Structure 1
Amino acid sequence: MDNEQIQALYSIGGAASVIAVGAFFGIQWVMRTVQAMKMSPSVKTEKTTIITSDTVAMDRLAGTIEASNLILTENNILRREEHADRSSQRKALEENTEAVERIMAVIQDVRPEIRELTREIVRSGR
């Protein structure tokens, strides 16, 4: 082995030992941190009555959203009623159209008899 190869091996060995020692201390640090987190007291929260401008703004926003939802709900109800009304009007229109068509058919059938009756009235002179 020549001098450069020996130097490279020492460098690789030194780097490996630095990484191993760093990993060892890193793992110990993580373990101590986890133990400290387990031992620390839980955070206690307390309810406050402090009103901030953000709280007021959020309250107003919530009120606006509730009012908007109420309006949208009412609009949906009205649309359903309109749809039902349109359906019933459409049905009534179809029934009326069928009735008119039946009347027109009856008038077409009766038309020759009306002409003949008119001719008889004219002939009799009444």
Structure 2
Amino acid sequence: MERENIQVSVVNLELNDALKDYINKKLRSIEKFIDFNDPSVSGDIRLYKDTGKQSGKIYRVEISFMKAGKKYGVNASGNNLFEAIDESKDLILRKITDHKEKRQSLVKRGGATIKTFLKKFSR
């Protein structure tokens, strides 16, 4: 499943088919919130291996999406590449859903304010 509007780049790594499949699998869970077929959606996924370290969290993943003018971006590190991808996917999902819930909360509060305002005039 190739997505033209999502760019995947690697630094000090090789992007093999298993890694592409794993990234696509993780992108499917994000598709519930972001429609990748929408031409206004674009994104970058960058995978890094820190060659200056010998152990610890040497893999880093950066994900950034732009949807209708709103930017979402996260960074995550891990002991292996799959751990870093999983963590970054969880972080980006949290950012997207937090924004969605905040927007819905603002609409509800605005509606409640209008309702109380109208109640004052109906008496």
Larger RCO: 1 or 2 (CA < 8 Å, sep 6+): 2
Q: For this structure pair, what is the TM-score category when the shorter chain's length is used for normalisation?
A: 0.3 to 0.5
- Greater strand proportion: 2
What's the TM-score once normalised by structure 1's chain length? 0.32
Which structure has the highest helix share of the two? 1
Larger radius of gyration: 1
- TM-score (ref. length: structure 2): 0.32
